[in-house]
């Protein structure tokens, strides 16, 4: 990795010098130390650092948060905040600027280093495919558009979505799904003569910027080739797997000369291809843009799903490294869609959140999981803790904490057997509500785990300020951990930090022996992932529990 350049914005000279010395000794280059928001923006304009460390409280016209917002929106440079103390209002403003990290002073050198590493990594690359992510795509697309401005050529922005990837995930498993995604990424990256850049946007969605072409038909021809390339058989574990893609194309300058607008238009065209059955490309037309009936139908289905009992809770075993035994289960909701089959929560949870349906859905999952766990206990199965995911949006409900205790009372489950999984982002959104809820839950005996640790605001100072029990290292850091030095370094740092704070560490998404061996060696406490088992329907999970299986770790 090249040497990363960092700008320090900090109005206390001694602290700034200290940070600078630390960073230099850690191998970073400092583009400057400045004392105000105005100077920060000027310095960024001039030196384009890779990351900015920003004190929240600065003297002068422009405070840290305003400067950070400008740096993010104008330059797309990640900002990590530094602050000694922040009130609720400040935290809300901080959160609105989508920070890449948040460090509370005073802090330790290794926390600073880890926070910066996480921020830089998250900023530019997709962890699964290693392709550039949306942020790097936008930056490079804008450069391409700028360069082509005066020339007569056409720039084509292509979005590509794999058809029916959910089917692959639910029938062959997520690991095969991920393999397919990586394979497609590799095929697209290797097709250099026509493609300028490939990025991964969402789950099974890619964006491609084509090399300039003279006419629209040339772009159509390339799109056809890309469809063929994707459709070629893949050999997965000895058998052939086929996928197709839906493609949308928008052209500069005809459809727009703005990068974001071009992407949006390509998306619209891509949805159109999907609706026509997939394995197709479509150019953007204004008419297609009006055709968003599809989303509406989906929302209606989701609204009715709870009434029609289309949801089901699956259970993914969590294994304690020390004993090799199942110590808990993560409850993961599934939607058995009458037409589409099993839909993954990655798809419908965001929709449920947007539609205000997450509260009733979340309560239903909690109640189902608690009732089931109690039933297993009554049956005399080995003791078990159940982990339930909670969405940030559920905190908007006023009586959330009461509902949780009510459900525990009704289902008669010992609160010690319940763990609630929350993500980092949630805390910054409403610190007071989060603190209150956590305190109350922990007093009742409920465990609190921070989910997807490292992918959110990466505030390594949370555990100091909030009462948690466990950290779950996100699966993107576990991937190839035995070979990927960056992932390895981050994971080891998280484990050490968590242990120094007396927290349990759970690694999620463990897929193979090498990953497992690494985690055992570095003293991780608990693990879950496809290596042991994917999430199972309740009956299958009960059978596994009954077998009282003990893994040799
Ligand atoms: P999460 O809480 O981080 O859950 C872990 C996800 O990783 C699950 O996906 C799980 O099936 C998957 N996974 C487990 N082992 C492996 C592995 O070895 N490799 C890979 N590649 N993946 C693995 P799932 O079930 O699709 O859930 C996705 C996300 O949806 C969850 O992420 C969670 O954020 C959310 N979710 C699921 N159920 C609920 C729920 O009841 N309420 C809320 N609010 N969110 C939920
Ligand atoms: Mg979870
Ligand atoms: Mg997770």
Instruction: List, for residues 302-333, the tens digit of each pLDDT value.
Output: 888 988 899 999 999 999 999 999 999 999 99
What is the model's pLDDT at position 501?
87
**398 or 289, higher pLDDT:** 398
Which residue of 389, 452, 474, 532 sits with most ligand 1 atoms within 8 Å of its CB, as the best mutation to test the pocket? 389
509 CB less than 6 Å from ligand 1? Answer: yes
The yes-or-no verdict on residue 292 having pLDDT over 90 is: no
pLDDT tens profile 347-380? 899 889 878 899 999 999 999 999 999 999 999 9
Least confident piece of the model among 25-29, 207-211, 279-283, 337-341: 337-341
Whether the model pTM is above 0.85: no
% the chain with pLDDT above 70 = 95
333 CB less than 6 Å from ligand 1? Answer: yes
pLDDT tens profile 249-264? 999 999 999 999 999 9
Tell me how far the alpha carbon of residue 144 lies from the centroid of ligand 2, in angstroms: 39
DSSP helix/strand/coil, 133: coil
- CB within 8 A of 228, min separation 6: which ones? none
Nearest CA to ligand 1 atom 25: 332
Given a contact cutoff of 8 angstroms between Cβ atoms, the answer to whether 529 and 323 are in contact is no
Tell me how far the alpha carbon of residue 421 lies from the centroid of ligand 2, in angstroms: 6
What is the model's pLDDT at position 8?
97
Pairing mode, if any, of strands 385-389 and 341-343? unpaired
Residue by residue, DSSP assigns 61-78 as SS-HHHHHHHHHHHH---
Tell me how far the alpha carbon of residue 379 lies from the centroid of ligand 2, in angstroms: 26
Please report which ligand is nearest the Cα atom of 474. 3
- Two tokens, residue 511: 């897929």
What is the model's pLDDT at position 295?
62
* Nearest atom of ligand 1 to the alpha carbon of 332: 38
pLDDT tens profile 25-84? 999 999 999 999 999 999 999 999 999 999 998 888 899 999 999 998 888 899 999 988
Q: Round to whole Å and give the CA distance between 134 and 125.
A: 8
* Nearest atom of ligand 1 to the alpha carbon of 474: 3
Nearest CA to ligand 1 atom 8: 332
What is the model's pLDDT at position 293?
46
Measure Cα distances from 74 to 6, 120, 187, 494 in Å: 17, 18, 33, 32
- Two tokens, residue 36: 């105000």
Residue 288: pLDDT band (50, 70, 90) is: low
Q: Round to whole Å and give the CA distance between 9 and 29.
A: 14
Residue by residue, DSSP assigns 200-233 as EEETTEEEEEEPPBSSHHHHHHHHHHHHHHHHS-
Residue 97: pLDDT band (50, 70, 90) is: confident
- Two tokens, residue 240: 């052939």
Residue 464: pLDDT band (50, 70, 90) is: low
CA 493 to mean position of chain CA atoms: 20
Residues with CB under 5 A from ligand 3 (ion): 451-452, 508
Q: Work out the mean pLDDT of the chain and round it to a whole number.
A: 89
Residue 524: pLDDT band (50, 70, 90) is: very high
Which residue of 127, 173, 174, 351 sits with most ligand 1 atoms within 8 Å of its CB, as the best mutation to test the pocket? 174
What is the model's pLDDT at position 99?
86
Please report which ligand is nearest the Cα atom of 332. 1
- Two tokens, residue 148: 């082509």
Given a contact cutoff of 8 angstroms between Cβ atoms, the answer to whether 241 and 176 are in contact is yes
What is the model's pLDDT at position 72?
87
Angle between helices 64-75 and 88-96 (to 10 degrees): 10
**208 or 302, higher pLDDT:** 208
- CB within 8 A of 256, min separation 6: which ones? 250, 262, 265
Tell me how far the alpha carbon of residue 77 lies from the centroid of ligand 1, in angstroms: 30
The yes-or-no verdict on residue 409 having pLDDT over 60 is: yes
Measure Cα distances from 497 to 48, 419, 461 in Å: 31, 21, 10
What is the model's pLDDT at position 392?
83
DSSP helix/strand/coil, 312: strand
% the chain with pLDDT above 90 = 59
Residue 338: pLDDT band (50, 70, 90) is: confident
């Amino acid at each position: 990795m090249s040497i990363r350049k960092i700008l320090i914005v900090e109005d206390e000279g001694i602290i700034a010098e200290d940070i600078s010395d630390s960073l230099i000794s850690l191998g970073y280059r400092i583009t400057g130390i400045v004392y105000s928001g105005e100077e920060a923006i000027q310095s960024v304009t001039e030196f384009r650092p890779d990351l900015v460390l920003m004190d929240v409280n600065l003297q002068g016209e422009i405070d840290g948060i305003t400067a950070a917002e400008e740096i993010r929106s104008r330059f797309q440079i990640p900002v990590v905040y530094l602050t000694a103390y922040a009130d609720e209002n400040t935290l809300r403003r901080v959160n609105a600027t989508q920070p890449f990290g948040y460090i509370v002073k005073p802090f330790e050198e290794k926390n600073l280093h880890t926070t910066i590493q996480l921020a830089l990594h998250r900023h530019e690359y997709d962890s699964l495919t290693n392709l550039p992510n949306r942020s790097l795509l936008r930056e490079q697309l804008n450069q391409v558009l700028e360069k082509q401005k005066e020339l007569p050529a056409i720039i084509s922005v292509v979005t590509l979505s794999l058809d029916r990837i959910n089917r692959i995930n639910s029938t062959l498993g997520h690991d095969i799904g991920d393999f397919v995604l990586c394979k497609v990424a590799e095929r697209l990256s290797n097709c250099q003569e026509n493609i300028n850049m490939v990025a991964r946007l969402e789950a099974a969605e890619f964006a491609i910027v084509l090399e300039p072409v003279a006419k629209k038909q040339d772009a159509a021809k390339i799109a056809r080739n890309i469809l063929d390339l994707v459709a070629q058989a893949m050999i997965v574990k000895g058998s052939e797997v086929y996928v197709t893609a839906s493609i949308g194309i928008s052209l500069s300058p005809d459809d727009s000369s703005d990068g974001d607008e071009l992407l949006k238009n390509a998306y619209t065209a891509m949805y159109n291809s999907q609706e026509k059955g997939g394995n197709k490309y479509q150019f953007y037309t204004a008419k297609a843009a009006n055709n968003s009936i599809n989303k509406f139908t989906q929302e209606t289905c989701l609204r009715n799903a709870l009434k029609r009992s289309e949801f089901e809770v699956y259970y993914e075993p969590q294994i304690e490294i020390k004993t090799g035994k199942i110590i808990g289960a993560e409850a993961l909701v599934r939607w058995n869609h009458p037409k589409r089959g099993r839909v993954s929560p990655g798809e419908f949870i965001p929709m449920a959140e947007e539609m205000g349906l997450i509260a009733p859905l979340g309560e239903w999952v909690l109640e189902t999981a608690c009732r089931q766990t109690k039933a297993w206990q009554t049956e005399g199965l080995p003791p078990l803790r159940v982990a339930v995911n909670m969405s940030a949006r559920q905190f908007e409900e006023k009586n959330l904490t009461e509902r949780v205790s009510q459900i525990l009372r009704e289902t008669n489950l010992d609160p010690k057997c319940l763990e609630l999984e929350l993500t980092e982002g949630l805390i910054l959104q409403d610190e007071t509500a989060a603190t209150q809820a956590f305190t109350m839950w922990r007093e009742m005996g409920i465990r609190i785990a921070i989910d997807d640790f490292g992918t959110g605001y990466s505030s390594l100072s949370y555990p100091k300020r909030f009462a948690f029990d466990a950290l779950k290292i996100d699966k993107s850091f576990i991937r190839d951990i035995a070979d990927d030095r960056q992932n390895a370094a981050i994971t080891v740092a998280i484990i050490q930090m968590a242990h120094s704070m007396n927290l349990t560490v759970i690694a999620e998404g463990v897929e193979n022996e090498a990953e497992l061996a690494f985690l055992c060696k570095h003293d991780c406490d608990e693990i879950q992932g496809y290596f042991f088992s994917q999430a199972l329907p309740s009956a299958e999970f009960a059978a596994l529990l009954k077998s009282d299986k003990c893994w040799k770790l």
